[in-house]
Amino acid sequence: MEIRSNKELKYSYDVNNELLRWEAFAFSDDTVTMLYAVCGILIFVIMFTSIFCIRNSFAISITEKTKMYGMLASCRSN
């Protein structure tokens, strides 16, 4: 526990750093850096999987359309 005082304003107050840490108001620099790193990795994974899913959807659509156009082309030639 830390005691701070201001002699100009004539008051003093106590700061309970442990309580503030439990209430998530007093993060250390290492904690904030780690949170940013985890958020960055999470955003990268979400973006990568989203791009992969969209690409896969387009690939499936193109494959199906190619088969369909191939069947239509074979029917017209007769």
CA dist 51 and 53 (Å) reads 6
Q: 71 pLDDT band (50/70/90 cuts)?
A: confident
Structural contact between residues 36 and 22, judged by C-beta atoms closer than 8 angstroms: no
- Residue-wise pLDDT for 33-69, tens only, equals 999 999 999 999 999 999 999 999 999 999 999 888 8
- Can you give the pLDDT at residue 70? 84
pLDDT on residue 7: 55
- Average pLDDT, rounded, for the chain: 81
Helices (H) and strands (E) in the chain, counts: 2, 2
What is the structure's pLDDT at 29? 79
* Stated pTM of the model: 0.52
